[in-house]
Amino acid sequence: MIGLIGGSGLSHLEGLELEQQMQRETPFGEPSAPLMIGKFAGKDVAFIPRHGEHHTIPPHLINYRANIWAMHQLGVEQILAVASVGGITELYKPGVIALPDQLIDYSWGRESSFFSEDFSAARHIDFTYPFDETLRQQIQLAANIVEMTVIDGGTYAVTQGPRLETAAEIRRLKNDGADVVGMTAMPEAGLARELNIAYASIAVVANHAAGISSHPLSMEVIIETMDSSMHRVHRLLKSAIPLL
Ligand code: HPA
């Protein structure tokens, strides 16, 4: 079973032939929404919108542990996670789709491990490469097949939100080496790694990050960019899923 996590702009997975909807309680509480289980591009998938069915859960209040655990319980071994991000460096312009290969975690106060209550030395996972390289390459290949341009790589800075950043914060992230900024890749990616689930992010640039362009950030423009990018995300997923 393949797991798909939808971000802002992707609360419903077009083309999913729904077979079952499952609301599962986990040892870590309730997932963001019932898992939608069915066939997508000929494969068994489980889909969950991380912000809830009606986009009501802000990034810092998402129950990441319940979402990842519920997928693990279903036997999910690979997760493609779609996320909207702000673009910091030159190539990462609004509308661009990127497959980050690194991240820096600036979030705080989130439940970020399945082992917080039951820790032992063996639980220090290797996280040198936070996104699964094989999965990233498969998505890149899927993009090539449908002649879609995606950026291979980039560093995803994870901020706490829900507010957007200040111009100085974005300057700092840029100095730190970040290419895009979003609010959800952590603890999601770390939790997946704890359970040996291969995880890759499909990051859709919704806007220039704060202070990068001279225009003030507007939620309307961000949502518009996300909406107009989602048909490409669906096309990419349809091409990628059969390769996994
Ligand atoms: N910052 C953080 N998260 C985001 C942004 C941003 O500019 N755009 C979309 N998600």
d(CA 67, CA 174): 30
Q: Which of 7-16, 33-42, 133-142 has the lowest mean pLDDT?
A: 7-16
| Predicted local distance difference test score (pLDDT) of residue 117 | 83
Sign of CA pseudo-dihedral 12, 219, 97, 52: negative
CB 4 within 8 A of CB 50: no
Whether pLDDT at 201 is above 90 = yes
**Nearest one of 10, 2, 56 to 32, comparing CA atoms:** 56
Q: What is the pTM of this model?
A: 0.97
Q: Give the Å distance between the CA of 89 and the centre of ligand 1.
A: 13
Question: How high is the mean pLDDT of the chain?
Answer: 95
Q: How many CA atoms lie within 13 A of 81 on its CB side?
A: 31
Q: Give the Å distance between the CA of 183 and the centre of ligand 1.
A: 7
d(CA 19, CA 36): 8
Q: Which atom of ligand 1 is nearest to the CA of 208?
A: 7
pLDDT in tens, 80-109: 999 999 999 999 999 999 999 999 999 999
pLDDT, mean of residues 192-208: 97
- Closest Cα to atom 10 of ligand 1: 85
Q: Which atom of ligand 1 is nearest to the CA of 164?
A: 1
d(CA 49, CA 81): 10
Q: Give the Å distance between the CA of 220 and the centre of ligand 1.
A: 13
164 lines ligand 1 (CB under 6 A): yes
| Predicted local distance difference test score (pLDDT) of residue 219 | 85
| Predicted local distance difference test score (pLDDT) of residue 35 | 97
Tokens of 90: 């030159």
Whether pLDDT at 237 is above 90 = yes
- Domain carrying residue 202: 2-243
DSSP string, 110-164: S---TTTTS--GGG----SS-S-HHHHHHHHHHHHHTT---EE--EEEE---SS-
pLDDT band of residue 172 (cuts 50, 70, 90) is: very high
Q: Give the Å distance between the CA of 82 and the centre of ligand 1.
A: 13
**Domain of residue 77, CATH code:** 3.40.50.1580
pLDDT in tens, 39-54: 999 999 999 999 999 9
The number of folded domains in the chain is 1
Helix (H, G, I), strand (E, B) or coil at 202: strand
85 lines ligand 1 (CB under 6 A): yes
| Predicted local distance difference test score (pLDDT) of residue 85 | 97
Whether pLDDT at 5 is above 90 = yes
- Closest Cα to atom 9 of ligand 1: 85
- Let me know if 195 is exposed, middle or buried by CB neighbors in 10 A (0-12, 13-18, 19+): middle
pLDDT in tens, 111-170: 999 998 887 877 889 999 999 999 999 999 999 999 999 999 999 999 999 999 999 999
pLDDT band of residue 244 (cuts 50, 70, 90) is: very high
| Predicted local distance difference test score (pLDDT) of residue 9 | 84
